[in-house]
Structure 1
Amino acid sequence: MKVLLISINAKYIHTNNAVRLLKVNSSFDTEIMEYTIKDDIKNIAEEINNKNPDVVACSMYIWNVNNFKELFKELELKNAKLVLGGPEVSYDPTYFLTNTKADFVIKGEGEIAFEELLKAITSNKDYKNISSLSYKDNGNIINNPIKEITDLSVIKLPYYIKEDIEHIPNKISYIESSRGCPYKCSYCLSSLEKTVRFFNTDEVKKAILYLMEKGSKTIKFLDRTFNANKNTLDLLDYIIENNNHKTVFQFEITGDVLDPKIIEHLNKKAPKGLFRFEIGIQSINEQTNLLVDRFQNTEKLFNNIKLIQKGNIIDLHLDLIAGLPLEDLKSFINTFDNVFNLKTKELQLGFLKMLRGTKIRFESDKYGYEFNKNAPYEIISNNALTNNEIKEIHLVEHMLELYHNKGYFRQNMLDIIISKESPYQFFLDIGNHFIINNYKMKGYQIEDIYKYVFDLLNGEEIYLLKQDYLVRSKIKPKIFFENIISKEERNLILTKLSQQQNIPLNKLYKHSVLIKKDFEYFVALYQNHISQTYKVYINKTP
């Protein structure tokens, strides 16, 4: 029996663990066929059709469900069975069995159910005893109950597939140390899992070491709450002890329950940049959090974030969700400003998605939700936010990406934003400035992003951003701004710098850029793809 496992990833660098888990836990001959959402659907269908498979199994998520729906129209299945799995189909199997060519839907974990299904297909046995399976039977849809895998040690791990070895250095590696989540946030699919279960810690360590040895640059843990594991510190210490100075590790952390002693331990012991923590704050509106079943100690959360920031060892990525119940624009701006002022490296502003199966989707009428009926089911409006207000937040989100998250700027830009009365309003002002002047939001040059914001800044702020622009470059950059420095001034400053720093004058003339503000001159010197900066003062003590 020929079994194809189909994955359509959001990006090439992503690795689909689900199809790999099915492969390594199956006794049948299976082949993984992996694509991205940018690949042509007809080409994918042609490749699948040419294989003449007996079973086609598809791993479905909100980012690829529309691609798969188009793919199903092109597939010539003949007598092949179509099996769907993944979070997108697990909580609404009836819809997918009714509206697609699917013969089966596996709900939740599929490692055991998929193997049992393949055995039943080959032996012509019925499917009534296969847990977590939904299927068609004489025009009826049968939904067998979901059964979680209580003992994760029975699962073979997906990290050691021979064909993957050459691709490991060029893709993100994903590892699980646990499944399930102890929290029940009503917008999250993880809230539908009943229990938190853990993989054997020694096996997790073995996988970490293997992926590092094979050249993985980024290892991301899929645990919904990594610090729910009692072995959290043991795993972090293991990574530190085996640090190869080439691999970084990412974790989703529940910030308010993170033990400050762990933070202090990592601040002392971990090398800078080895760890990245992703913390979902979502909202600091207490009433809103209670309505979505989040019980968050914001004071403790902020204290832990500040402790992480103080150490300057762990990279922090924070998440917010716009569109949660009863959080109006005023409340959301308050959430945004307070969280942005924590000064983390990245702040992701997302919009509520009404995922199939979630409590918030079932309660959508209660809060007046209008949302897109196609994936990713994003909010259009609710009782607290109009559609125009949602559009305004989208504009702020785009400016947040350009002027903070993408890393086009250095510390000076962050300091400028923090100095404003409202970071939200500042990003909104930039966005409106883009619209009024018809500036490009895509297809821009980096210098454009700097230039566009100058009109909203004072002279001192512009001078600081010019420094950011020079510092971010590794080679002598193109100067897009007016930079009036006379030949005499240039000679004076570079001669003085040459004498102070013992740098050959000819190097300074050839490889440096000068800018000035009053009596201060900022000099950036570019050599060997490294920028070094200096300040020189004339007629004034700094």
Structure 2
Amino acid sequence: MKALLVTLDSKYIHANLAVRYLKKFCSDDGFDLEIKEFTINQQLDYILGEILDANAQIICFSCYIWNIEYIKEIAYILKSSTLGIKILLGGPEVSYETEKFMKEESYVDYIVCGEGELTFREFIKEINSDKPEIGNIKGLAYRENDVVIVNGARELIDNLDTIKYPYDENESFDDKIIYYESSRGCPFNCSFCMSSIDKKTRNFSIQRVKSDLKTLLATKARQIKFIDRTFNVDYKRSMEIMNFIVEHNLNHMTIHFEITADIMNDEFLKFLSNMPINMFQFEIGVQSLNSDTLREINRHMSIEKLNNVIGKIGENNNIHIHLDLIAGLPFENYKSFKKSFDGIYRLNTEKIQLGFLKVLKGTKIYFDKYKHNIKYREKAPYEVICTKYISLEEILKLKKVEELVDRYYNEKYFEKSLDYIMENIYNSSPFEFYELFSEYWKKSNLYKVSHSRKKLYQILYNYIDSIGFLTEDFVNSLRYDYVFNNHQEDLPAFLDKESEEKFKTIKRFIANDEKIREKYFENAGKNDRILNSFRIVEINGDATMFIYKNKKNIFNRCRAYNINYIIEEYNHE
């Protein structure tokens, strides 16, 4: 009997880990298994056609909050139209309240609950036998005479090395994101997170991790994203893995980890200070700075140590730090969320990811929803609508703030301008700037259409003008950001295009005179002396040279130099 493993990823660049694990775990048993990987952005008819072309008797779907509604529709159509086909679901979206789900979705024949490798292999073995017996397969739910039966829970796999390396050696991952795990489970008990349900942390052996990473690092993937819930629980193990990555990451791909900041010690911080620039990203789930909220969601965190650790990592300008905040948590109202945002913003990390509570089945917060009067959407991703503490209107305001934080802060194209705004206009509250700026966007109907980056500069300029703070210093800051981040774009009129035109002669002189380059830029960096890509613009009355580097590297995107002394010497000669 042929089984088809199907996944719908959120984006094409993602590579699903679960279906690959399942196929590889069964690879020695001779079963007929095939994988088909789609995205939620592809047309339904195309996906249906591809599934039917596989001529499989059982279709197995990997279910998450981002794809469950699509999968339910696809599975229903397949079951309704194709005689004898069987539907199996697995994954976190169907592992809890399984009996209820199967009663509501009558087209589902089987569900694999929880960690799926052992359960799936036993199931595939039985349905390929002469007399299938599935009543004793732990972790499986099924129908028998229209009655839903849920077998006992499956024990977790202690020795993770028995799970095979999931990816095929000939798979092409050019410019894709590869997901990888070096451990399973989480030692913490955050009430909103499904990882808190599995309190047992298990590791793949360090030898196995190194073997896997050596293969993955030889690909041309864009990024390896570790899905370990707290990568740095064992900091010595973390250092060993990171050192191995540095040694073998010859293609300079980005490596992403989820970490907990306030458990870092001085030894680990010193180690991080020596890591290469732009290779590693840390995602840190702060979620809130409200002590009542943190207590209620089981986040035992030292805010003082969090601030100290993030500050020390940031001093080295080598590791991207992404901080997560969640709106809609217990005891977090609009006013206290503003305080959390302001506290996080002042840490000056590379990204602030403002998210909204998802009420996931099986989590503590799911069972506490009545206690906090949490209302959430009935369909996945079960996002919060309102709570006892925050209204729908306030949630919608925060969504608009989130959009502007993403547009203006996270991509680092407005650093000088935002620094000026925070220091001189909204010094008491960064949140207030984004809040009032979002009101300006709403009144000006700016949310209705997409905008180029060039247009975003114009919008910020117009907003600052509208509130009466369009000073020369602000315009200089905005001009600096524009030239620093837009190599090919001419200065727009509102930023005084003439400030660049006046330096055309000196620009040609510098570009054509090797002695000048060697004399003035020998200490600027090895590649900076090759001035084949630069501009000169007047900033704060000074001639500033912008030398463009790696546009993808925010730590080394461009360098700027005051060259007034070159001009003076040139004019004198």
TM-score by structure 1 length?
Answer: 0.91
Q: How does 1:95-174 map to 2 (within 5 A)?
A: 95-100=100-105, 101-123=107-129, 124-153=131-160, 155-164=162-171, 167-174=172-179
Alpha-carbon displacement from aligned partner over 1:87-114 (angstroms, at most 9, x marks no partner): 1111121233123211111111111100
Query: Which whole-Å deviations, capped at 9, do the CAs of 1:347-399 have from their partners, x for residues lacking one?
Result: 10000011122111121111111111111111111111011111111111011
Tell me, yes or no, if the aligned pair for 2:479 and 2:539 is still in contact at 8 Å.
no
Structure 1, 148-157 or 361-370: larger mean CA deviation: 148-157
Structure 2's unaligned 5+ residue stretches are 519-530, 552-556, 569-573
The residue aligned with 2:277 is 272
The number of equivalent residue pairs is: 533
Query: Where does residue 554 of structure 2 map in the other structure?
Result: none
TM superposition shift of 1:186: 1.0
Distance change (3 Å), C-alpha of 1:417 and 1:55? farther
Structure-to-structure mapping, 1:150-229, within 5 angstroms: 150-153=157-160, 155-164=162-171, 167-229=172-234
Equivalence map 1:135-534=2 (5 Å): 135-153=142-160, 155-164=162-171, 167-229=172-234, 231-244=237-250, 246-268=252-274, 270-409=275-414, 411-419=415-423, 420=426, 421-440=428-447, 442-455=449-462, 456=464, 457-459=469-471, 460-477=473-490, 479-483=492-496, 485=498, 490=503, 502=516, 512=535, 514-517=537-540, 519-524=541-546, 533-534=560-561
Report the counterpart of residue 7 of structure 2 in structure 1.
7
Structure 1 unaligned blocks of 5 or more: none
Amino acid at match of 2:496: N
> What whole-Å deviation, never above 9, does each CA across 1:14-44 have from its counterpart, x for those lacking one?
0101000010011212110000010111211
Out of 562, 565, 568, the position equivalent to 1:535 is 562
Mapping 1:26-41, distance limit 5 Å: 26=26, 27=29, 28-41=31-44
Report if the CA contact (8 A) 1:512-1:525 is conserved.
Answer: yes
The letter of the residue matching 2:477 is L
Q: Which moved more, 1:222-231 or 1:392-401?
A: 222-231
Equivalents in 2 of 1:129, 1:495: separation in Å? 80
Cα 1:488/1:126, change in 2 over 3 Å? closer
| Residues in 2 aligned to 1:192 and 1:528: alpha-carbon distance in whole angstroms | 42
> Take 2:265 and 2:559, find their aligned partners in 1: how far apart are those partners?
39
Q: Is the alpha carbon distance of 1:151 and 1:423 closer, same or farther for their aligned partners in structure 2, counting shifts above 3 Å?
A: same
Amino acid at match of 2:33: T
Q: Distance in 2 between matches of 1:116 and 1:330?
A: 53
Indicate the residue corresponding to 1:46 in structure 2: 49
Checking the alignment, whether the CA contact within 8 Å between 2:10 and 2:67 is kept in structure 1 is: yes
Taking a change above 3 Å as real, the CA distance of residues 52 and 480 of structure 1, as seen in their structure-2 partners, is farther
Q: What is the DSSP-based 3-state SS (H/G/I as helix, E as strand, rest coil) of the residue aligned with 2:143? A: strand
Q: Which residue of 2 aligns with 1:72?
A: 75
Establish whether residue 25 from structure 1 lines up as the match of residue 25 from structure 2.
Answer: yes
Greater shift, 352-361 or 225-234, is seen at 225-234
TM-score by length of 2: 0.86
Tell me if structure 2 keeps the 8 A contact 1:260–1:304.
no
Identity %: 35
* One-letter amino acid of the counterpart of residue 417, structure 2: M
- Which letter does structure 2 place at the counterpart of 1:452? I
**Cα offsets for 1:34-58 (capped at 9, x unmatched):** 0001011121112212322111100
Asked if 1 retains the 8 angstrom alpha-carbon contact of 2:480 and 2:539, the reply is no
